[in-house]
Amino acid sequence: MIVLEARPQPSRFWTYASPVLALLVTVVIGVLLFAALGKDPMKGLAVFFWEPIRSPYALSELMVKATPLLIIALGLSVCFRSNVWNIGAEGQFVMGAVAAGGMALLAEKTTGPWIIPAILLAGVLGGMAWAGITALLRDKFNANEILVSLMLVYVADMVLSYMVFGPWKDPNGYNFPQTKTFEAVTQIPRLMQGSRVNVGIVLALLGVIALWLFLFRTFAGFRQEVSGLAPAAARYAGFSSRRALWVALLVSGGAAGLAGALEVAGPIGQLTPYVPAGYGFAAIIVAFVGRLHPVGVVFSAILMSMFYIGGELAQSRLGLPKSLTGVFQGLLLFNLLACDTLMAYRLKFIRPPAAALASAKGTH
């Protein structure tokens, strides 16, 4: 018999090995899934794990996908470490994109390069404002931040749709629901010629360093975690749980808004109803697979962007639905939750008592 035996203390080994095991289990299930769909499993795995890294161009596209995931996941890591459950980063991403798009529409051909910092700042403020609604309702009325932040995602989508179908609709756009293409001066600077990778990846990596310093080298980071995980102890120490709530939500909202600004002023170049790409929801998985650690989040963001690109390639090359991306994301999350059991429990093999074996044989 196999039973789960509680460990005296959480396993440090499985804290880091659990995501690796979860990925391996996801790959095994993926092989079975491709076989069940009548596709060559090796070709299926290749489009997810080899094609996104097989050439310099593929790597650059991988970085383009990973940038918003990494930025949003960094902000969510602050939230989740503070025991604040912001599930609405997708809405904050959208509102950051809307605010940044509104700033970009003000630009003219003669506008100076100052417009780029203004666009990024507008995106950050838009995301913070949207997250601030959740913080206010939780602070003043003790509303559940999970439900509030999640429902605000759909409100944000409606705001975006209203703007691109209404006042910001391009009059020369053949009635398509989109704004005009932003002026060239608003384009986020690219790092190299012939690649879509822009300075957003630099900002993301700077965010990794900043978050690591904040969490592990500052008293403010320590206070933030204690206020979220042990409110009673925090109050005894004089820490403010309200402050932790506001800091967590504003930081995560600002990060999501920055990602939205980088997306619309970078690869997209205009506002359309298709700005919501699911990055805000996928970043939740990125944060947890990365163990809410800034360095771990980097690797999990790369993995998740491989799933995005693999899903697109599976659609075009194997004739599979693009929703396969979501299947792999969900499999990874559920496998991670299952494998995390090994942190608190160990598998123990025990032999049934002899009397039970004899009884079992007697029944046959």
Confidence of residue 363 (pLDDT cuts 50, 70, 90): low
Q: Is 29 helix (H, G, I), strand (E, B) or coil?
A: helix
Confidence of residue 357 (pLDDT cuts 50, 70, 90): low
Q: Is the pLDDT of residue 358 over 70?
A: no
Please write down the long-range contacts of 49-53, taking CB distance under 8 Å and 24 or more positions apart. 49/306, 49/310, 51/309, 51/310, 51/313, 52/305, 52/306, 52/309, 52/310, 53/306
Confidence of residue 42 (pLDDT cuts 50, 70, 90): very high
For range 44-55, the mean pLDDT: 92
Q: Is the pLDDT of residue 22 over 90?
A: yes
Is residue 261 a contact partner of residue 100, using CB atoms and an 8 Å limit? Answer: yes
- All residues at 6 or more sequence positions from 89 whose CB lies less than 8 Å from its CB, including other chains: 72, 75, 76, 149, 252, 253, 256, 279, 280, 281, 283, 284
pLDDT digits (tens, 9 = 90+) for 89-125: 999 999 999 999 999 999 998 999 999 999 999 999 9
Confidence of residue 275 (pLDDT cuts 50, 70, 90): very high
- All residues at 6 or more sequence positions from 147 whose CB lies less than 8 Å from its CB, including other chains: none
pLDDT digits (tens, 9 = 90+) for 232-253: 778 788 888 889 999 999 999 9
C-alpha span between 69 and 77 (Å, rounded): 12
Q: Is the pLDDT of residue 361 over 70?
A: no
C-alpha span between 260 and 268 (Å, rounded): 10
> What is the pLDDT at residue 159?
97
Is residue 75 a contact partner of residue 203, using CB atoms and an 8 Å limit? Answer: no
pTM over 0.85: yes
> What is the pLDDT at residue 26?
94
Beta bridge partners of 345: 6
Percent of the chain clearing pLDDT 90 (strictly above): 75
Q: Is the pLDDT of residue 364 over 60?
A: no
Cα of first residue to Cα of last residue in the chain, in angstroms, is 19
Per-position b or e across 303-314, b if 16+ CB within 10 A of its CB: bbbbbbbbbbbb
Q: Of 3, 55, 28, which Cα lies nearest the Cα of 346?
A: 3
Residue labelled with tokens 């093999």: 349
For range 51-70, the mean pLDDT: 94
User: How far is residue 348 CA from its own chain's centroid?
Assistant: 35
pLDDT digits (tens, 9 = 90+) for 165-192: 999 999 998 889 999 999 999 999 999 8
> What is the pLDDT at residue 25?
95
